Amino acid sequence: MPNLLSRSLFNLFFGARRKAMASLRGPQPGVLGTLGDFIGQQPWDVCARYGREYGGVTLIWMGPNPGLVLNDPALIEEVLETRRTEFEKGSISEQVRPTVLDSVFIAKQSEDWAPKRKTDPLEQPWSADWLAAQVGPMQATVTQSVEALLEEASIDLTPALRRLTFDAFAVVTVGERLPSSVFDDFMLMAKGADARVKANIPLRFVSAPKGFEAARERFYGHFAERVSAARRAPNLNAVDLMARTLREEPGIDDQRLARILGQFFYGGVFSASTTLVGAFHQLQKYPAAEERLAAEAASLAEGKLTFERLRDARWVEAVAYEALRILPAVRVFTRTPAVDTQLAGVRLPAGAMIMISNQHLHRDPAHWPNPETFEPARWLDGGVARDPLGSGHFFPFGRGPRACVGGAFTMVYLQTALATIAARAKVHVDSTEPFEEGFFFGVVLPTGVTGRLSSRGARSNAAVESA
């Protein structure tokens, strides 16, 4: 809490503003407002603490400017769903723009978000059929990655599963793995965006990493070349996103498709791989859950893994859901009113910060039995229907029309990866103590989660076929 002098100075200069917000609870502001609460702390932890201490709405001060932290499902529904057109995404849009360019992720609702979302390949009627066709290719690619990791005496799970995920995303987007140089450019551009996200100075003063612009030109240029080649010599049997989009949407602009393919990686590689790290960390802590996953995965490996068989693997699904609940990769969503607006009983000025976190709601003891315990069984026997993705107490991909466009794909990827890895290897994590959580590209970054993979002996059909 700010000292008496600091609180007095805030009240002296901004007391009238504070009086207008007197109906809301929140921490005492000082000369910096309540920014001091966030210094040295992860924002999701602060938001969760506010939820426990102040309830569903917390008044915060970004210096002299009021803002809100929302932990109330009804108010979150207002901002993200029923009144969503009144609120734009926060500063994240400008922070990552040099990396993701004109992605639908950062598009403004008042400008071009709607047409971009409507024409995104993952929003098309044929996307469900495309998604179902990706299980086999992803299984084969993940199996190859696991074979390589089995040769390592020790691994850091975060970068290892990030590269495994990148390779799987490459296969579903363009039909094959990409050169390491493309991955290197992908990471350099992500670091550029991350520096802007974490900057405490105006973005115009934030320098891009050395070689950023050249990396961006190469990265998106790589996909442009592939689109051009696929356009000249179409493969009618290919099931990847690029080939399917060119068949279904022949009028799509080549540059736009190339950017969509490149942006696909930024939409999910970091968050999906973080979820896998969290899942295997928790499975090490709860061996009965891990043994049940291994048994179901072994059964799946006895035949060709298809979308239909994966959909019937209820424990695999439950593990994925529980990992997303207890350790969601994206824990803070920001919005700002486009104009002065009324919310939570007060008038918020245009541009005010609204922070929405799922950290507290995903572990709310009033809603979840044993909320701090990794219990995949909570998702069986109607659990998924009780708390569907994007509902009040479970929104790892966000809520409403602006929820992640790749959410359905990510679920299929997570289940495919969990089943494939568990069938081929046992993941040993060196410590089941809570890992340190960093922050990278707007996503939780597990740090220091080391371990190794040991073979379960029997190879899956995918491994045999690809050998």
Tell me which residue of 191, 252, 163, 179 sits closest to 221, measured CA to CA.
179
Predicted confidence (pLDDT) per residue in 231-278, tens digit:
999 999 999 999 999 999 999 999 999 999 999 999 999 999 999 999
Q: Could you identify the residue written with the tokens 């598009």?
A: 107
What percent of the chain is predicted at pLDDT more than 90? 94
Q: Could you identify the residue written with the tokens 């298809």?
A: 306
| pTM score, whole prediction | 0.95
Residues 6+ apart with CB under 8 A from 324: 275, 394, 396, 414
Residue type at 393 in one-letter notation:
H
pLDDT the model gives residue 460: 44
Predicted confidence (pLDDT) per residue in 343-379, tens digit:
999 999 999 999 999 999 999 999 999 999 999 999 9
pLDDT the model gives residue 462: 42
Predicted confidence (pLDDT) per residue in 377-398, tens digit:
999 999 999 999 999 999 999 9
Q: How confident is the model at residue 2 (pLDDT cuts 50, 70, 90)?
A: confident
Q: How confident is the model at residue 463 (pLDDT cuts 50, 70, 90)?
A: very low
Helix boundaries (H) for 370-424? 383-386, 407-424
Predicted confidence (pLDDT) per residue in 115-153, tens digit:
999 999 999 999 999 999 999 999 999 999 999 999 999
Predicted confidence (pLDDT) per residue in 306-355, tens digit:
999 999 999 999 999 999 999 999 999 999 999 999 999 999 999 999 99
Q: Residue 127: CA atoms inside 13 Å, Cβ hemisphere, count? A: 15
Predicted confidence (pLDDT) per residue in 14-70, tens digit:
999 999 999 999 999 999 999 999 999 999 999 999 999 999 999 999 999 999 999
pLDDT the model gives residue 457: 75
The span from the CA of 267 to the CA of 221, in Å, is: 18
**What integer best gives the mean pLDDT of the chain?**
95
Tell how many helices (H) and how many strands (E) occur in the chain: 18, 12
